[in-house]
Structure 1
Amino acid sequence: MRRLGSVQQKIPCVFVTEVKEEQSRKRESQQFRVVATEQVNPVALEADIDCALATEKLDGTCCYVTLYKGQPYLWARLDRKPNKQAEKRFKKYQHTHRSAKGFTWNVEEDFRTVPETWIPAHQVKHHNGYPMPDDLGHIPGWVPVEKDNKQYCWHSSVLDYEVGVALVLRPKANDEDMLEIVAVLLADLMEQTLELIGTNVNGNPYDLVELSVVSVSVARDGLGSKKQPVHFLVSHGSVKFRTPPPLDFKQLRSWFHECPESRVEGIVWHCSDGTLLKVHRHHLGLKWPDGESCFGNRSVGIHLDGTVEDNNRRDLFASFSALNGCSFSRLQDVHFDP
C-alpha cells in the first residue's frame, strides 16, 4: 500500500450518489443536495473496498507539504474557480442537461486569477498546457503558506519554518486510543496531505455547544477560544477505526445512529491501490456537527520538550511547550492559563 494521506482530488462517495433539488444541509447557498443511494460505487468494488483501511474524516481545511524555495513548506488548499460569467453559464448548462458532461471551458478566460505561486494538485488533467477543471468546475490546487500572509494566519500558527517543524496531533504509537500533540519535522511530512483543525477553521465543528433548559444558559466546551485559539495538523489516514462499520447502506446508517465510535463527520477508506472513497453524514441525510464528537472526547498528551528555547516567545508553540508532559482526559480540556 502506498503512503496514506494523499488527498489531492475530490474524494468520490463510496455509494452511487444522486442529486435532489432541495436546500443543502451542508452549504447554505447550495440549492441542491447530493445524497447516497443504496448501490455501492463500482469504483469501490474495483478497488477491493472490503480490504481497505477505514479512517475518520476530519472536518477542517486540507493542507499539503512539499518543497518551496528549496525547503519543506506547508501549502494551503486553493481551488481555482470560474469567474461570475463563466459560473453562470456553467450552472445554466448543468440545470438544462442535469450533468456537467459536455460543457466546454475556455480555461484562459473563464477562471479567476490565482497567485503566481499557485500549483495545480496532482492528477489534474491538462489540455494544451492548461490545467482543466473537475466536474464541479474547480481546478484543485495549492499555495505556499508564508508568514506574512494574513489570509493563512491560522496555518502559520502551527509552523516554525526557522526550525522546520509543525504542530501535529496524532495517535500515540503504543496506544492508539490516546492522542498526542508533538512537533514534527516538515521534512518527515513531505508529500503528505493533512487537515488543519481548530478554533478558527470551518466554524470549529469540534466546539460542543449545550443548552441548559433550566437556566437557559449556554456552555461551550471545545477546541480553544477567541482569546486562546488552538490549532494543529492531523495527517490524513492517521485516525483509524477500531471496529470499521460494514459497507452496507442500511447497516452503515444504523452504525452512525447507534455506535459510540460514529460521532464523526464521516469515513474515508484507503484502498491498497491508492484509491480513496468516503461517506459524509450529509450523504446519509444525517446532521453534522451533532453533539459531542469522538475526536474531541479522546484523551491527549503533550510532548514538546526542547521545542521552544526563547522564553519571550508568545505563540502556539510556547503555549503548548508550557504544558509539556501534561495529559488531559479529553482533547476539549486542553486550555492555556490566562
Structure 2
Amino acid sequence: MMRRLGSVQRKMPCVFVTEVIDEPSAKREHQPFKVLATETLSNKAVDADIHSAIPTEKVDGTCCYVTTYKDKPYLWARLDRKPNKQAEKRFKNFQHSKENTKEFLWNVEEDFKPVPECWIPAKEIEQLNGNLVPDENGHIPGWVPVEKNSKQYCWHSSVVNYEFEVALVLRHHPDEPEVLEISAVPLSDLLEQTLELVGTNVNGNPYGLGSKKHPLHFLIPHGAFQIRDMPALNHSDLLSWFEGCREGKIEGIVWHCSNGCLIKVHRHHLGLCWPISETYMNSKPVTVNMNLNKYHYAFDTKCLFNQLSKIDKQKFGRLKDIILEI
C-alpha cells in the first residue's frame, strides 16, 4: 500500500495536457469553464515515468491524516489557511491582469486568516525566508487535530475512538481480495498515512452509504484500491474503460510514481459524469470485522463503533446494504 506521509498534493497534475473550455463546469458549481484532457501525455507524467507507476482508485471523500498529538496517535482534518478578503482581492486582480509576468508577493503574516494554534502545515509546503509559500490557488494546505466529540468535525470524530486508539477503516479483506472489509484498526498502524473520509455526510455521499437517521462513515487509506487491469495509457482506451468496464465505475485514477509524484485523471477530464448511480466500490461484497474478541472493546452505546459491533462478522452483498440501528 502506498503512503503519502502527511502530504497534501498542492494540485495533483493530470496525466494528460489539459485545455480550458468556455462552458460551465459539471464538477464545480459556479465555475464558468471546463478543464478537459487532450490526447497528449503531460510532461510531468512522462518525467515521473507514468508507465511504471502504480494505478489506484481515486476515492471521493475528504482528506485526513494520522499523526501524533498529545503524545497519542490522532486523526487530523484538512484545513487550508486562506487569504483574507483584501489579500484575496489583490490576488484575483493579479491573476486576471494581462501583465502578470512577475510572481505574486504574499505577506503571510498579514494576508492570511488566522488558524488554530494546533494547526500544522502539510509536509511538502515550501518555505522562503522562513515563511510558508502559498500554492497556485493562494492557499496553504494543512491539518488540525480532530478532538473527541468535535462539533465542527463530527463525522471525522465518528470514525475514531481515542480511548481504545482505533479507527474505522475500509480496505480489501486480507484473505479475499474481491471482498471489502470494515474493521477497527489501531491508529498506531496508520501513523503518518493520509486517508480519505467517506460516508453519508461527505461530498454528497456518492457511494450511497448509510442514511440520514443512521449515518455511516469510515476511512480509506490512500492507494488502498490498486487497479489491476489497466487499459493502455491513451485517451481513447481510458475513455472506453471508464465507460464500459465494471472496474472503471470510479471517480478517477491516481498513479503513484516511483519518484513520489502523484498523477491523476478524473472522469470530468474525459467529459464523463460523476457521481454515477452504480460505483465499482458498491459492486463488491463487504464484511464487518470489529476485532471484538482480540481487543475486548466496550464501546459507548450510541457511537458508530457500537452500531457496527452489532453486525460484527456479518457479510453483505455491497456497502449500500449495510443498515445500522441504534
**In structure 2, what is the Cα distance between the partners aligned to 1:183 and 1:199?**
19
Aligned counterparts of 1:99 and 1:187: Cα–Cα separation in 2: 47
CA contact (8 A) 1:305 1:321 kept: no
Match of residue 182 from structure 2: 181
Match of 1:245 among 231, 244, 249: 231
Tell me, in whole angstroms, the C-alpha distance in 2 between the residues paired with 1:163 and 1:40.
Answer: 47
Counterpart CA distance in 1 for 2:190 and 2:110 is 36
Q: Distance in 1 between matches of 2:68 and 2:29?
A: 36
1:337 aligns with 2:325: yes
Mapped partners of 2:4, 2:119: distance in 1: 21
Distance in 2 (alpha carbons) for counterparts of 1:236 and 1:160: 21
Counterparts in 2 of 1:173 and 1:163: CA distance versus 1, 3 Å: same
What is the CA–CA distance in structure 2 between the aligned matches of 1:70 and 1:312, rounded to whole Å? 23
Instruction: State the partner residue of 1:55.
Output: 56
Aligned twin of 1:219 = none
**CA deviation digits over 1:139-170, x for unaligned, max 9?**
11000001142110000001011111100001
The question of whether the paired residues in 2 share the 8 Å contact of 1:80 and 1:140 is answered with yes
Shift of 1:253: 1.4
Contact in 2 for aligned 1:5/1:235 (Cα 8 Å): no
Gaps of 5+ in 1: 208-222
Q: CA RMSD in A?
A: 1.9
* Equivalent residue letter for 2:281: F
Aligned pairs, number: 322
Give CA-to-partner distance per residue, 1:264-295, whole Å, 9 cap, x none: 10000011221111111111121100221111
Question: Does the 8 Å CA contact 2:120/2:144 hold for their aligned counterparts?
Answer: yes
Structure-1 residue corresponding to 2:316 = 328
Give the Cα–Cα distance (whole angstroms) in 1 for the partners of residues 163 and 80 of structure 2. Answer: 28
Distance 1:98 1:193, change over 3 A: farther
1:210 corresponds in structure 2 to none
Query: Which structure 2 residues correspond to residues 1-338 of structure 1 after superposition, within 5 A?
Result: 3-6=2-5, 7-9=7-9, 10-97=11-98, 102-207=103-208, 223-306=209-292, 309-310=297-298, 313-337=301-325
Q: Secondary structure at the match of 1:59?
A: coil
Query: How far apart in 2 are the matches of 1:311 and 1:189?
Result: 21
Report if aligned partners of 2:159, 2:218 keep a CA contact under 8 Å in 1: yes
In structure 2, relative to structure 1, the CA distance for the partners of 1:98 and 1:115 (3 Å cut) is farther
Q: CA deviation at 1:97?
A: 3.8
CA distance in structure 1 between the aligned counterparts of 2:85 and 2:232, rounded to whole angstroms: 43
**How far does the alpha carbon of each residue in 1:34-66 deviate from its partner, in whole angstroms, 9 at most, with x for none?**
222221111211221111111100000000011
Deviations 1:101-154 (A, max 9, x none): 622222222211111111110110112222111111111100000114211000
User: 1:317 is matched by which residue type in structure 2?
Assistant: F
TM (normalized to structure 2)? 0.93
Letter in 1 for 2:8: Q
Offset from partner CA, 1:214-263 (integer Å, 9 cap, x none): xxxxxxxxx10011000000000001112113210121112111112111
Q: Is the 8 A contact 2:184 2:291 kept in 1?
A: no
Instruction: Determine what percentage of the aligned residue pairs are the same residue.
Output: 57
Q: 1:267 to 1:98 in 2, by over 3 A?
A: farther
TM-score, length-scaled by structure 1: 0.90
Q: Tell me, which stretches of 5 or more residues in structure 2 are unaligned?
A: none
1:141 partner amino acid = G
Report what 1:220 is aligned to.
none
Task: Give the deviation of 1:199 after TM superposition.
Answer: 0.2
